[in-house]
Structure 1
């Protein structure tokens, strides 16, 4: 049995984790602990407070008692908003508090991009444009080339959590760039697990989404490799074949 712990901010798309757990197999357990988000706002000051060491440390003891082998801070905006160096410090403090390997969704994206060997990226964000731009800056610091960035102007995770298939498809299509090797959707409040393969097949390229890469990162920390085709190219490393009408 492999147990991975996740610190998830508030309540919006937490049901992605039991869905993904079912797709991974019976010997993997994804343990979720909710953190207090304070103000629900995709705004820099609110995000810095959401990702503070004190808020993350508050959920660590419950994860330790659950038997988790590694922990991931399941929040993209609440990690990249600290910048490349600040996000490293955030993860370092989390690992020290938890006494286990730690990472965050922002680093999960960086590592997933490296895993797939994709360098030219299109960002399809639910965030306001300024926050989406900070994610692009983080990816550039990781060595990627960001060809396009599209923000959606949504302030709260609660609103993002109401989005369904149609909104996910529309955002992916609108944000894609013809020369991009992959499309990234950086918000753990967004429901995407049920649509990954379908969107990839329409785009003809890998789709990396926040909860997908977060789970993959936790498994990477635990040295587990899982083949799960429903979770997209990241979990198969097979080429994406575009489906045409």
Structure 2
């Protein structure tokens, strides 16, 4: 049994995790601890506070007690908002606090893009334009070519959590670009675990969604690989580049 630990802010799409645990169909357990979201706002100051070291450290002990072998900060905006270097510092502090290998969803996206062996991506974001631009900048710092960014302007995670398959498919269509080799959906508040095959069929290319890549990153940290076709190309292809 491999136990993977996730610090998840608030309550929006946390039910993606038991769904993914089921789809992994293996001896993998996904342990989720909710962190205090503070002010629910896709706004830079609120996101910086949400990802602060004190808020993350508060959930670490519960994850340790769960037997987790690695810990992921399951929040994209609360990590990339710190910038490339700041996000590294955030992960280092989390690893020291937990005494475990650690990463975040932002780095999970960078590693997943590399693993797929693609270079050009489109971003289909729920965020406002300024926050979406910060994610694109983070990806560019990771050496990824961002060919298009679709910002939906949604201010709260609570609203994103109400979106269903129809809204996610519409976001996919509007966020895709002919030059993109993959489409990224960066918000962990967005339900996607049940929709990935439909998204990839609709777009005709791989999709990377926040909760999906977060789980893949935790597996990477524990040197586990699981074939799970219902979780998309990321979980069926052999790694093309060592992450």
1:202 aligned partner: 202
The yes-or-no answer on 1:86 pairing with 2:86 is yes
| Secondary structure class of the residue paired with 2:153 | coil
Counterpart in 2 of 1:221? 221
Which blocks of at least 5 consecutive residues in structure 2 are unaligned? 239-243
Give the distance between the partners of 1:14 and 1:48, measured in 2 at CA.
21
Determine the structure 2 residue equivalent to 1:123: 123
Secondary structure class of the residue paired with 1:150 = strand
The answer to whether the 8 A contact 2:44-2:81 is kept is yes
Segments of 5+ residues of structure 1 without an aligned counterpart are: 239-245
Tell me how many residue pairs correspond in the alignment. 238
1:79-130 Cα offsets, whole Å, 9 max, x none, are 0000000000000000000000000000000000000011101000000011
Counterpart residue number, 1:31:
31
Partners of 1:147 and 1:48 in 2: how far apart?
26
Partner residue of 1:40?
A: 40
Separation of aligned partners in 2, 1:216 and 1:17: 12
Q: What does 1:165-180 correspond to in 2, within 5 Å?
A: 165-180=165-180
**Structural RMSD (CA):** 0.7
Contact 2:47 2:77 in 1 (8 A): yes
Structure 2 equivalent of residue 8 of structure 1: 8
Q: In 2, distance between residues paired with 1:192 and 1:63? A: 24
Q: TM-score, normalised by structure 2?
A: 0.97
How far does the alpha carbon of each residue in 1:16-75 deviate from its partner, in whole angstroms, 9 at most, with x for none?
000000011241000000000100000000000000000000000000000000000000
Question: Hey, what does 1:241 align to over in structure 2?
Answer: none
**In the TM superposition, what is the alpha-carbon distance from 1:237 to its structure 2 partner?**
1.3
Question: Per-residue displacement from partner, 1:178-207 (whole Å, max 9, x unpaired)?
Answer: 010000000000001111011101111100
